[in-house]
Structure 1
Amino acid sequence: MKITAVEAIPFAIPYVKPLRFASGEVHTAAHVLVRIHTDDGIVGVAEAPPRPFTYGETQAGIIAVIGQIFAPQLVGLTLLEREVVAARLARTVGNPTAKAAVDMAIWDALGRSLDLPVGDLLGGYTDRMRVSHMLGFDDPAAMVAEAERIRDAYGITTFKVKVGRRPIGLDVAVVRALREGLGEGIELYIDGNRGWTPAEAADAMRQMADLGLLFAEELCPADDVLGRRWLVRQLDVPFIADESAVTPADVTREILGGSATALSIKTARTGFTGSQRVHHLAEGLGLEVVIGNQIDGQLGTACSVAFGAAYPLTSRRAGELSNFLDMRDDLLTEPLQIVGGELQVRPGAGLGVEIDADKLAHYRQDR
Structure 2
Amino acid sequence: MKIVGIEAIPFAIPYAKPLRFASGEVRIAEHVLVRVHTDEGLTGSAEAPPRPYTYGETQESIVAVIDKIFAPQLLGLTALERAAVHERLDRTVGNPTAKSALDMALWDILGQAAGMPVSGLLGGYTDRMRVSHMVGFAPAAEMVAEAERIRDVHGITTFKVKVGRHPYTDDVAACRALREALGPDVDLYIDGNRGWSASDAARALRELADLGLTFAEELCPADDVLARRWLVRQSTIPFIADESATTPAEVTRELLSGAATAISVKTARTGFSTSQRVLHQCEGLGVEVVMGNQIDGQIGTLCSVAFGAAHRSASVHAGELSNFLDMTDDLLTEPLTVESGTLRIREGAGLGIDIDPEKLARYRQDR
TM-score between the two structures when normalised by the length of structure 2: 1.00
Q: How does 1:330-349 map to 2 (within 5 A)?
A: 330-349=330-349
Q: What are the Cα deviations for residues 121-157 of structure 1, in whole angstroms up to 9, with x where unaligned?
A: 1000000000000000001100000000000000000
User: Alignment partner of 2:230: what SS?
Assistant: helix
Q: Offset of 1:96 from its aligned partner?
A: 0.4
Taking the aligned partners of 2:353 and 2:3, their CA distance within structure 1 comes to 20
Matched, 1:285 2:309: no
Give the aligned partner of residue 145 of structure 1.
145
Q: Offset of 1:268 from its aligned partner?
A: 0.2
Q: How does 1:77-226 map to 2 (within 5 A)?
A: 77-226=77-226
Taking the aligned partners of 1:58 and 1:248, their CA distance within structure 2 comes to 23
Q: How does 1:304-315 map to 2 (within 5 A)?
A: 304-315=304-315
Q: What are the Cα deviations for residues 230-273 of structure 1, in whole angstroms up to 9, with x where unaligned?
A: 00001000000001011111111110100000000000000001
Give the aligned partner of residue 60 of structure 2.
60
Give the aligned partner of residue 351 of structure 2.
351
Give the aligned partner of residue 32 of structure 2.
32
User: Alignment partner of 2:240: what SS?
Assistant: strand
Q: Offset of 1:104 from its aligned partner?
A: 0.4
Q: Match for 2:298: what amino acid?
A: Q
Q: Offset of 1:57 from its aligned partner?
A: 0.3
Matched, 1:303 2:303: yes
Give the aligned partner of residue 239 of structure 1.
239
Q: What are the Cα deviations for residues 282-313 of structure 1, in whole angstroms up to 9, with x where unaligned?
A: 01001110000000000000000000000110
Give the aligned partner of residue 321 of structure 1.
321
Taking the aligned partners of 1:353 and 1:334, their CA distance within structure 2 comes to 9
Q: Offset of 1:171 from its aligned partner?
A: 0.2
User: Alignment partner of 1:10: what SS?
Assistant: strand
Give the aligned partner of residue 271 of structure 1.
271
Following TM superposition, where does structure 1 have runs of at least 4 consecutive aligned residues deviating by more than 3 angstroms?
A: none
Taking the aligned partners of 2:356 and 2:287, their CA distance within structure 1 comes to 39
User: Alignment partner of 2:313: what SS?
Assistant: helix
Q: Offset of 1:110 from its aligned partner?
A: 1.2
Taking the aligned partners of 1:51 and 1:97, their CA distance within structure 2 comes to 9
TM-score between the two structures when normalised by the length of structure 1: 1.00
In structure 2, the gaps of 5 or more residues are none
User: Alignment partner of 1:314: what SS?
Assistant: coil
Q: Match for 1:206: what amino acid?
A: R
Q: Match for 1:356: what amino acid?
A: D
Q: Offset of 1:362 from its aligned partner?
A: 0.3
Taking the aligned partners of 1:111 and 1:276, their CA distance within structure 2 comes to 17
User: Alignment partner of 1:338: what SS?
Assistant: coil
Taking the aligned partners of 2:171 and 2:195, their CA distance within structure 1 comes to 11
Q: What are the Cα deviations for residues 175-195 of structure 1, in whole angstroms up to 9, with x where unaligned?
A: 000000100010000000000
User: Alignment partner of 2:146: what SS?
Assistant: helix
Q: Offset of 1:353 from its aligned partner?
A: 2.1
Q: Offset of 1:63 from its aligned partner?
A: 0.1
Q: CA RMSD in A?
A: 0.5
Taking the aligned partners of 1:353 and 1:152, their CA distance within structure 2 comes to 28
Q: Match for 2:200: what amino acid?
A: E
Q: Match for 2:315: what amino acid?
A: S
Give the aligned partner of residue 250 of structure 1.
250
Taking the aligned partners of 1:71 and 1:85, their CA distance within structure 2 comes to 10
User: Alignment partner of 2:141: what SS?
Assistant: helix
Taking the aligned partners of 2:95 and 2:252, their CA distance within structure 1 comes to 21
User: Alignment partner of 1:189: what SS?
Assistant: strand
Q: Match for 1:295: what amino acid?
A: I
